[in-house]
C-alpha cells in the first residue's frame, strides 16, 4: 500500500503528534498560593515582603481561612501562631488554615491609594471575602515604621492591619496590591 508523501518528506519518517499551541493557565485573581496551617513547616524558599519592628523577623502576605470568610492578613513565622488577622479592633491570632501569597514583583505592584479606593485602571489582587461575599483585597500600611500587610476594600474606607495586639485602620496614604500590566 502506498500513501502519498509531501515533497521532500522521508517516506520512512514516523509522523509526530500534531503541534499544539500550549498556553499556560491564567493566574487566578487571587494569585498562586501556598496552603499552610499552624502545624506546617514554613516554606523557606519565599522572600519576605518586609520585616517586623525588630528588623530581623520576616513578614509575609497571606489570607486566613475561616468557615464563612477569608481575610487578608500578615504572616510572621517567628510568632506563634504565625498568622495574625485584623478584626474587631484587635489583632487576632489565627490557628486554622491560611495561605501564603508569594509577592512577585514581576507580576504584582503596590499602588498608593486612600479611603478604600481602588485606583483607576488597576486590578487589585483578591485576598478574600466577607461573610456576605464582599471582596477584600491585600493592602499594605505603615505602622510605627513597619510595612504591614492587611486588608482593604471600598466598604472599609481604608486599610486595616494588625500590629502590636491591635487593629490599626489607616485611611490615607497606604498601598493596595495590584496585578502589573
Whole-angstrom Cα distance, residue 49 to residue 56? 12
Q: Using an 8 Å Cβ cutoff, are 42 and 36 in contact?
A: yes
pLDDT reported for residue 32: 85
Give percent of the chain with pLDDT exceeding 90: 77
Cell 494588625 found at: 162
pLDDT by residue (tens digit) across 110-157? 999 999 999 999 999 999 999 999 999 999 999 999 999 999 999 999
> Domain map of the chain by residue range?
34-179
pLDDT reported for residue 181: 81
Q: What is the mean pLDDT of the chain?
A: 88
Model confidence at 31, pLDDT cuts 50, 70, 90, reads confident
pLDDT reported for residue 28: 64
Whole-angstrom Cα distance, residue 11 to residue 48? 58
Specify the long-range contacts of residues 3-9, CB closer than 8 Å, at least 24 apart.
none
Whole-angstrom Cα distance, residue 130 to residue 96? 17
pLDDT reported for residue 5: 46
Neighbours of 38 (CB within 10 A): 14
pLDDT reported for residue 44: 86
Q: Are strands 135-143 and 126-129 parallel, antiparallel or unpaired?
A: antiparallel
Model confidence at 23, pLDDT cuts 50, 70, 90, reads low
**Mean pLDDT (whole number) for 61-86:** 96
Full-model pTM: 0.83
Amino acid at each position: 500500500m502506498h500513501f502519498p508523501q509531501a515533497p521532500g518528506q522521508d517516506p520512512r519518517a514516523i509522523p509526530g503528534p500534531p503541534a499544539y499551541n500550549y498556553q499556560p493557565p491564567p493566574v487566578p485573581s487571587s494569585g498562586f498560593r501556598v496552603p499552610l496551617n499552624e502545624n506546617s513547616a514554613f516554606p523557606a524558599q519565599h522572600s519576605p515582603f518586609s520585616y517586623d519592628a525588630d528588623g530581623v523577623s520576616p513578614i509575609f502576605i497571606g489570607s486566613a481561612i475561616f468557615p464563612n470568610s477569608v481575610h487578608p492578613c500578615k504572616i510572621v513565622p517567628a510568632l506563634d501562631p504565625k498568622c495574625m488577622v485584623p478584626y474587631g479592633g484587635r489583632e487576632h491570632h489565627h490557628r486554622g488554615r491560611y495561605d501564603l501569597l508569594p509577592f512577585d514583583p514581576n507580576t504584582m505592584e503596590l499602588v498608593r491609594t486612600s479611603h478604600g479606593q481602588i485606583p483607576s485602571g488597576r486590578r487589585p489582587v483578591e485576598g478574600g471575602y466577607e461573610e456576605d461575599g464582599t471582596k477584600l483585597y491585600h493592602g499594605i500600611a505603615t505602622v510605627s515604621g513597619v510595612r504591614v500587610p492587611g486588608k482593604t476594600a471600598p466598604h472599609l474606607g481604608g486599610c486595616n492591619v494588625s500590629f502590636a495586639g491591635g487593629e490599626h485602620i489607616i485611611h490615607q496614604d497606604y498601598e493596595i496590591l495590584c496585578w502589573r500590566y
